[in-house]
Amino acid sequence: MNEKLSFEDFKKMKTGKVALADELILPLLEKINSVEYFCTTSSCAGRIMLLEILSGKKDAKFYMKWHRRVDFDEFWKAVEEYKGKKELWLRCDPLILHLFAKDYASAIEFLGFVKSIGFKRFGLQHDKKHYFMEINGTQGMYLPLKQESEILAGKEYAMFALKKANEKLAKNYSMLEKFQKEFAKKYL
């Protein structure tokens, strides 16, 4: 029989997954995991990437990804060198945090906290054993750049788009910094 893990089992396993390049979110995850009634899972501080769309939104693969500000020359070289036969998209993903709460009251309190510090997208799911929360930033951006071998946007537009993606990433990181400070004040 395949039983679901209890909250205590999650805490023991240290289930959080973080990309090695995504070190900016580690201090927040460590703070959250130090609170006995929270446990993080996969989370990301935000990233910029080039994504190859294979057949639809759910069927895509990373071509390039950066958990930092991206220099235009590096970005443009990657776009020009893409030889795939599918669409290539520029994507800026916002901060995302996945975590479990030990009980309903802790989950509701935490969601009230994230709302109070400025997050607009968050939710709670529950099954018989778990209270799972997802918190999303709003600084996302998605646009096609290349179809097969044809670059859809000129170099000037690509430069503008990357500038906007870098700005959104900077806002993500500011929100992450605020999250860390306010979390420490409230929970530690």
pLDDT lower than 70: segments of the chain: 1-21, 56-57
For residue 164, what pLDDT is reported?
98
CA dihedral of residues 184, 17, 143, 50 (deg, nearest 10)? 130
pLDDT value, residue 19: 55
pLDDT, position 21: 59
Residue 62's identity, in one-letter code, is: F
36-187 CATH pick, 3.20.10.10, 3.90.550.50, 1.10.760.10, 3.30.1960.10 = 3.30.1960.10
Nearest CA among 50, 70, 69, 71 for reference residue 61? 50
Output the pLDDT for position 8. Answer: 63
How far CA 144 is from CA of 58, 69, 92, 164, in Å, comes to: 15, 19, 12, 14
What does the block give as tokens for 30? 């460590």
Q: What is the pLDDT of residue 9?
A: 57
pLDDT in tens, 3-16: 444 556 555 555 44
Query: Are 112 and 53 in contact, with CB atoms under 8 Å apart?
Result: no
DSSP per position, 72-119: HHHHHHHHHH---SSEEEEEEEPPEEEEEESSHHHHHHHHHHHHHTT-
What is the pLDDT, as a whole number, of residue 3?
A: 44
Domain map (residue ranges) of the chain: 36-187
The pLDDT tens digits for 66-79 are 999 999 999 999 99
- Position 156 scores a pLDDT of 95
